[in-house]
Chain A
Amino acid sequence: MQIKALQKAGLEAIQSTDSIEHLEAIRVEYLGKKGLLTALLKNVAQIPPEERPRIGADVNEAKMSLNAAIEAQMLRLKEARLHAQLAAERLDVTLPGRQVTLGSLHPVTQIRQWINDYFMRIGFDIVDGPEIETDYYNFEALNIPLTHPARAMHDTFYFGDGRLLRTHTSPIQIRAMMESQPPYRLIAPGRVYRCDSDMTHTPMFHQIEGFCIDDRANLANLKALLHHLFSSLFQQDVQVRFRASYFPFTEPSAEVDIQCVHCQGKGCRSCQSTGWLEVLGCGMVHPAVLKAVNIDPQHHQGWAFGMGLDRLAMLYFGIDDLRMMFENDLNFLKQF
């Protein structure tokens, strides 16, 4: 009956332990090479032969039952240990992560990039030109001779040697046309300067010039393109309205209004209740400008536009104070 007693004591020990290490010790104590049950078998010589099979079977049964109990208990204990580990490793996942603080791109840059991408997708190239210009490229070649009253429209910054800061991106048109032959499909973004500083003017601002010259590009084409451009930018159907206007370097010339994107043309503060926002000037490139760059206006024609990027960025992002644009206040920049 020694076997049964051992088996019972073993099972009790197994049940009562709560440590994997102790359980291992119990396994060694009972089932190891020098374990208690193993020891019983070593005494087999002293057992009458007729009892040996029964005792052998009893020991085996005891071993199996202890083994099974140990395996079952081991499973329970490992599970409990995993649970304990998981509980201990619990995080407050709502604490902030380890971020690298991100910077931002200036709203003008974002709009410029959008417009650049738009025009590149429809097959335009980007060109640029100097910011310090000569009178010839900024005025003369654009059909604005010295005595032209339109010079008053441009409050020009001058240098002592007669050079000036370009007042618009249009001189890039002239330079581009002098460098190669038509057809042209080009845009030219850049900084421009006018000697004017108040609530609605900064002495430096950004324009983008676009022009397309081939043998048949006309005003109706430009209108369609601008409608597509603004509808794509604002992701809504944006109506475009042409108004007769005047620029010395285009004829016919037009101011372009878009339907107010804030009130859909119903009239609001942004559009001063008119339902329209003035966004750019454009027209058909003047024959005098084409002649200045040795292009025959009888065989080539095309349109050009010049658009203020700062104003467009303000519209797009809902910025209502122009002066914020170049103050570089972090509270402003961080918003974009």
Chain B
Amino acid sequence: MKVSEQWLRAWCDPALSSEDLAKKITLGGLEIDTVVPVAHAFTGVVVAHVMATEPHPEADRLTLCQVDAGLSEPLSIVCGAKNVRPGLKVALAMVGAQLAPDFIIKRARLRGQWSEGMLCSAEELGMQDQAEGILELPSSAPIGMDVRTYLSLNDHIFEMSITPNRGDCLSVYGIARDVAGLTGAPLRPLDIEPMPGVPMDDLPCVRVQADEACPYYAFRVIRGLSTTLETPLDVVERLRRSGLTPIHPVVDYLHEVMIEYGQPMHAFDLNLIGQSLTLRYAKPEETLTLLQGQTVTLDASTVVMADERGPLAMAGVMGGLSSAVTPATVDIFIESAHFTPSALSGVARRFGLTTDASQRFERGVDPALIEQALTIVTRRIVDTLGGVPSPIQWVTHPPKSDATCVLFKPERFEQITGVPLARDFIATSLRRLGFVCDDGVSPWKVTVPSYRFDIAYDVDLIEEVLRVYGYDRIQPVLHLDVAHPLNVPIKRNIQHTMQKVLHCFQHRGYHEAIHYSFVDPALQRFITQDASTMVLLNPISSELSEMRLSLWPGLLASVLYNQHRQQTNIRLCEIGVVFPTTKEGRVDEVLHFGGIATGMKGLFHWGEPTSPIDFFDVKGDVESWFLSAWPHQKLRFKAAEHPALHPGQSAQIVLNDDVVGWIGAVHPACLNALGIETSVFVFEWKLSEADVRTYYEPISKYPCIRRDLSLLMPTALPVEDVLTCIRQGVEPSYLKSLSVFDYYLGEHLPEGQKSIAVTLLLQHPDRTWVDEDIQLMMTTILKTLQTELGVTLRE
């Protein structure tokens, strides 16, 4: 909301500079985002009268003007604007005038003709960002008067963000009332001159059907308005400073009163509406063309003002085009009503419509304003445009007293805020803000003014007092009771594991990425063909419309993004929730960790060649994590096919017989579709809490024996089966390690065979091995390998 400082000070004028006033208001909860001067800091510009004009003899686009600036002689001015004409009142920058720090007007020759000053546009004076032609002043403007004074340009616009609870501050008067409370400066009283009107007998008949949406309704008509008069300049300027453009004198006055007091009203052309008006809910499929030209299809939760033929206006939001006032309008019907916040809720979302009126009704408008605003606006219209008003017609009148009363214990103030304040100060503060405070009883009885819709609890009153005292004056008091409630054991938290896995992969060269949780459905289809997930009703774009089922869509997109930016070695990882849904529609939010790698191996050195990352680099990364996070659990990689992965280079990650995730090379068809030309490896698993607790085993004092076995095995047999078989053949406490040190597949081997070589380190816990022990063990192992797996010792 834009508020003119001058207008505000006309109601309440504390002895504070513009900057200090803005700060005071901001700290009090009405945030002022910016303070903008209404015009440049120019000097030497006066009101002048164009007496005569003639074309410039040398230049088509220039005009020679004789201008009366109140001096003894008229001035000769060369002007380039199209709208300059005899009789016009203009803003003249005299010789010596300063329009900007480095822009001083001098006597100048333009194409051979002397110009003793410059006629200014609104843009040159900093009143508008853009302006066509020179500024035209009203004919009543006094010649020779300083334009700053005449247009009251020593003013600032406060750009304010009013929080939704403070509907009472969506007006100049409302803000002034709060400023008076915050500063203690006096508030100009609301002296409203009565405007009784003249009884008329042919007034339209209004019925309110939607009475829960519109509990109070009043109107009056004004007949016989002038159609030739324009909105006075001071009103136009006030509207401009409030961010509104002039439309029609009647509408401009309604707007001015709305901005000043906060009551939205609407004027219909009396001769364009029927005699029988109803405030009702719209019928399905009814349509209405609004003032700004948009046609909306209404629904049964929208309140409309309608006559016999159909809707005339969306009540409390915007009028209709067919009944709007026009330059030819002579008789008007002015509606002043109270629409409840619930009547307006959802309108903005359903119709994409937020208007000055709907914004105010949504937040609550003081019912007392219905009559006050209608009286004030009638006075202003009649004083300018003439016409005869009817008396105010009440369809439903607000009740006399319906004030909220809150019980308040003053000691609660210090309990809640930690600020000790005298009771007198508390009572005075509340009264200054318009509360009626009965502090002679315990608890106090505090009556809430009719314009405050946000006060129901004692803490609401505490906030009010604190605003007056000053939030910035709260003195910090360091205090925590027992740090952790010691009756509850401290739980371990997944955050710890999250940090651990990120550090592990960071140290293996992965950069942590963060992707949006919603992804491109097309990309997601590549990765998960049949799983279903949640789809947003109102996504930012269709590429961000589906909740992710895997971290891979985001990671793949980032590989592509970075490859387009000349990155060749890319390792990224991410932690985040994925959102699979069950058939019953239940969403499981599952915390996943995943990564992606492409390019060359991580070690770059001048002394050694490097080579592209392959499956086993990435598998090594994954193994490092699982072995560090679950040192005592059984980890397996089981060859399996996944729609997104290369069928020959993909595996399930199996931890203690649970499939927790996948690892593999991205399927070439998928890479091709994405336009990625390098091999890409991915992994992802469900992240669960690491279990690193280890139980100590005594260290054997006896020597360790090493045995190497070189084996021939069927090509299709997984190496892991051989390792498992060997492990099963040795007492677990004897086998210190089992590792593969050679693997060969190719020539010089029997048909259908491959070879591996393994090393066993064997140690007895409490004696020295004798040869026979080892011999027996090896024989058993080899026998089992041969009978169960067809694996033989390589000669």
Partner of B31, one of A106, A159, A195, A243: A243
* A246 with B416: CB separation less than 8 A: no
- Complexed CA–CA distance, A288 and B456 (Å): 10
Partner of B341, one of A132, A149, A224, A244: A149
Whose C-beta in chain A lies nearest to the C-beta of B510?
A: A103
| A326 / chain B contacts, CB cutoff of 8 Å | 514-516
* A102 with B538: CB separation less than 8 A: no
* B417 with A101: CB separation less than 8 A: no
- Complexed CA–CA distance, A109 and B495 (Å): 11
- Complexed CA–CA distance, A189 and B27 (Å): 28
A116 to chain B, nearest CB (A): 6
* A183 with B341: CB separation less than 8 A: no
| A130 / chain B contacts, CB cutoff of 8 Å | 587, 589
| A148 / chain B contacts, CB cutoff of 8 Å | 164, 345
Chain A, range 92-122, C-beta contacts under 8 Å to B: 95-96, 98-106, 108-109, 113, 116, 122
Q: Interface digits, A193-225 against B, CB 8 Å rule (1 contact, 0 not)?
A: 101010000011000000010101111110111
| B466 / chain A contacts, CB cutoff of 8 Å | 219, 244, 252
A175 within 8 A of B: no
A311 to chain B, nearest CB (A): 15
A84 within 8 A of B: no
A105 to chain B, nearest CB (A): 5
| A288 / chain B contacts, CB cutoff of 8 Å | 457
A157 within 8 A of B: yes
| A204 / chain B contacts, CB cutoff of 8 Å | 516-518
* B511 with A104: CB separation less than 8 A: yes
| B475 / chain A contacts, CB cutoff of 8 Å | 220, 223
| A245 / chain B contacts, CB cutoff of 8 Å | 29, 31, 163
Whose C-beta in chain A lies nearest to the C-beta of B537?
A: A158
B467 within 8 A of A: yes
In this complex, the member of A128, A183, A246 whose beta carbon has the largest number of chain B beta carbons within 10 angstroms is A246
A287 within 8 A of B: yes
A262 within 8 A of B: no
| B256 / chain A contacts, CB cutoff of 8 Å | none
B14 to chain A, nearest CB (A): 17
* B565 with A329: CB separation less than 8 A: yes
| B604 / chain A contacts, CB cutoff of 8 Å | 99, 101
- Complexed CA–CA distance, A53 and B460 (Å): 125
- Complexed CA–CA distance, A95 and B577 (Å): 44
Whose C-beta in chain B lies nearest to the C-beta of A224?
A: B476
Stretch from B477-485, B655-663, B701-709 that touches the partner: B477-485
Q: Interface digits, B458-481 against A, CB 8 Å rule (1 contact, 0 not)?
A: 011011001100011011111111
- Complexed CA–CA distance, A161 and B536 (Å): 10
Partner of A328, one of B27, B514, B536: B514
The answer to whether residues A246 and B603 also contact, given A103-B509, A132-B534 and a CB cut-off of 8 A, is: no
B576 within 8 A of A: yes
- Complexed CA–CA distance, A183 and B488 (Å): 10
Interface of A is mostly: mixed
* B499 with A102: CB separation less than 8 A: no
- Complexed CA–CA distance, A327 and B544 (Å): 14
Chain A, range 244-260, C-beta contacts under 8 Å to B: 244-246, 248, 251-255
* A103 with B164: CB separation less than 8 A: no
Chain A, range 138-176, C-beta contacts under 8 Å to B: 146-153, 157-161, 163, 165
- Complexed CA–CA distance, A71 and B165 (Å): 102
* B540 with A195: CB separation less than 8 A: yes
| A95 / chain B contacts, CB cutoff of 8 Å | 606
The answer to whether residues A103 and B31 also contact, given A125-B491, A221-B478 and a CB cut-off of 8 A, is: no
A131 within 8 A of B: yes
| B516 / chain A contacts, CB cutoff of 8 Å | 203-204, 326
| B154 / chain A contacts, CB cutoff of 8 Å | none
- Complexed CA–CA distance, A240 and B167 (Å): 28
- Complexed CA–CA distance, A245 and B27 (Å): 9
Partner of B418, one of A153, A157, A221: A221
B107 within 8 A of A: no
B419 within 8 A of A: yes
The answer to whether residues A160 and B537 also contact, given A254-B471, A326-B516 and a CB cut-off of 8 A, is: yes
| A228 / chain B contacts, CB cutoff of 8 Å | 478
* A195 with B603: CB separation less than 8 A: no
* A223 with B476: CB separation less than 8 A: yes
* B510 with A330: CB separation less than 8 A: no
B710 to chain A, nearest CB (A): 31
Whose C-beta in chain B lies nearest to the C-beta of A242?
A: B471
Binding site for B on A (CB under 8 A): 95-96, 98-106, 108-109, 113, 116, 122-126, 128, 130-132, 146-153, 157-161, 163, 165, 180, 183-185, 189, 191, 193, 195, 197, 203-204, 212, 214, 216-221, 223-225, 227-228, 240-246, 248, 251-255, 284, 286-288, 301, 325-331, 333-334
A/B interface sample: 10 pairs, CB < 8 A? A96-B606, A100-B603, A132-B534, A161-B585, A180-B488, A220-B476, A223-B477, A224-B478, A254-B471, A284-B416
A-B pairs, top 4 by smallest CB distance, nearest first, are A123-B483, A220-B418, A244-B29, A224-B476
